[in-house]
Structure 1
C-alpha cells in the first residue's frame, strides 16, 4: 500500500498573481513533515491546495489515490484538517465542538473519544465550558481535539490517516506548544501521517522528521532538519543571518527548548 501524501507540479494563482510555481511535495506516513518559510512564501497556500480549499493546477494523491476522484466522505475518513483559525457563529460547548469531528462507523462508535481528545490537548474538564468563553489558545486546542477525534486511530484497515495542521502552535505558550507537538509526534509514531505548517524553527528541528522549506512560491530545500536548517540556506531564504548551533554572547540570555528532551530522561 502507498502511504504518502503527495503533491505533483502544484501551481496556484490568486487573482492575477501566481503564488505557487510547480511545487512538488511528499510526506510519508509514520513521520512528521514540517513546511516552513518566511511570510508569503506559499506555505499555507500549498496546504490549502492539498486539502482542496483553493483551486490549483497539478495533482494531489493521498495514499496513492487521486483526491480529485475521491468523495468528501472518503477524504474525511482519511484526513483531518486544522486551519489557522476557526470562527464559530453560534454558542456551543467545548464538547459539542469536539464532537463535530465524529464520523459514523469509525470514531463515533466510541463515545469516549471526544473526552480522550480533550485530555490529550490538556483540556480535561473543559467539556461543559462554552467555547466562546475560552482564550484564543484554548480555542485553538479545542479545534485540535476536534481534528484528532475525526482521525482518532492513526491506521485503519492498513491505511494510514493524516493530520494536516496549519500553524498548530501559533498562539500557544511554550508548555502547550510541547503538548501539541508531542501529540503530533505520537500520532506519527503509531503509523499516521502529520503535515504541519510551522514558523518556529526550533520546534521544527526538535519534532520534524522531514522539512520542506518554501521561498517565493517554490521549494527552496527539502530533507531532514540537519540538511535543510543550515546557516546558508536560512540566511538566503529569510534574508537575515540565522546562525545554527551558535550560542549568543554570555550576557545575552537564550532559551534552548531542545534541552527538554535531555532533562526529561535525566541524561543532561
Structure 2
C-alpha cells in the first residue's frame, strides 16, 4: 500500500511553488522529505493532505483522495502541522482526546493516556495546554495525532502518520522519543511521511529520502544514496562533507553513536 502524488503543481499568487512533482511513500517505512528553506517541502505535504489547492492527483492506499469523505480520510491518516493554535482553554488530555473523535479508536478510552505516555507527557494530562512550552505543545499535538490512528494496520489496511517538522521545537532527547515512535509505527506496518530539517536524524531514522530543490524533487533513495557530499553541496549551496569530523578543537555531537550505546547497554 502506498501514498502517491502525481504531477502536483501549486501556484501561490504568480509564483509557482511546485512544478509537476511526483511523490511516492510506502507503508512499513519512514519517508523523509528534506531540502533547503523554500524548496517546497511543506507545500508538497499540504498538497497531499488537501490543505493547499493544487493540480494533480493524490492516491492513498489506492483510492483517489478527491473521492473520499473527510471521515474516511480521518480513519486512515492523521496529520500534524508545523504549528497548531488552540483558541479555547483545554487541558492536555482534552486536546489529545480530540483524536478519538476523528479516528477509529473511540471505543478505547485508554488510548489518549497511552499516547501521552508514548510522548513522555503522561503526568501532564491535567495541565492547561496554553501553559506549556512550545516543545511540550508540539508533543501534545503528536499524541493527539497518534491517538487518531493508534493501530498502524486495521483489517489489513495500513494507516498513515503525516508529520510536518515533528522535532523542530524539541531538545535532543525528545527528538529521539518522537523519531523512535515514528520508526516503531512504520515497523508495525503503518506509513510515516515527515518533513525534516535535521539531516542527522533523517540519516538515522528514514528508510527513504526525498530531497527537494526549488519546487521539484532533486533526487530520491536511501539516506546513503541521497545524503552525499556532492548532492548536499549542490542543493544547499554550501559544502557539507558527510562522515567527516571537524578539527579537534571543535566539539561536535554524533547522534548516530546513540545506536551503539543503546545496543551496548542492552
Confirm or deny a common fold (TM above 0.5): yes
Residue 134 (1) aligns with residue 132 (2): yes
Q: TM-score, normalised to structure 1's length?
A: 0.98
3-state SS of 1:242 partner = coil
Residue 87 (1) aligns with residue 85 (2): yes
Q: CA deviation at 1:106?
A: 2.2
Residue 29 (1) aligns with residue 27 (2): yes
Q: CA deviation at 1:124?
A: 1.1
The 5 Å alignment of 1:1-268 reads: 3-103=1-101, 106-266=104-264
Q: Assess if the C-alpha contact under 8 Å between 1:77 and 1:103 holds in 2.
A: no
Relative to 1, partners in 2 of residues 1:255 and 1:221: Cα closer, same or farther, differing over 3 Å? same
Superposed structure 1 runs of 4+ greater than 4 Å apart = none
Instruction: List per-residue Cα deviations over 1:184-206 (Å, max 9, x = no partner).
Output: 00000000000000000000000
Looking at structure 1, the residues matched to 129 and 122 of structure 2 have their Cα atoms a distance apart, in angstroms, of: 14
Q: Unmatched 5+ residue regions in structure 2?
A: none
3-state SS of 1:25 partner = strand
Looking at structure 2, the residues matched to 125 and 170 of structure 1 have their Cα atoms a distance apart, in angstroms, of: 23
Count of residues in correspondence between the two structures: 266
Pairwise CA RMSD? 1.2
Q: CA deviation at 1:251?
A: 1.1
Q: CA deviation at 1:135?
A: 0.5
Q: TM-score, normalised to structure 2's length?
A: 0.98
| Further displaced range: 97-106 or 16-25 | 97-106
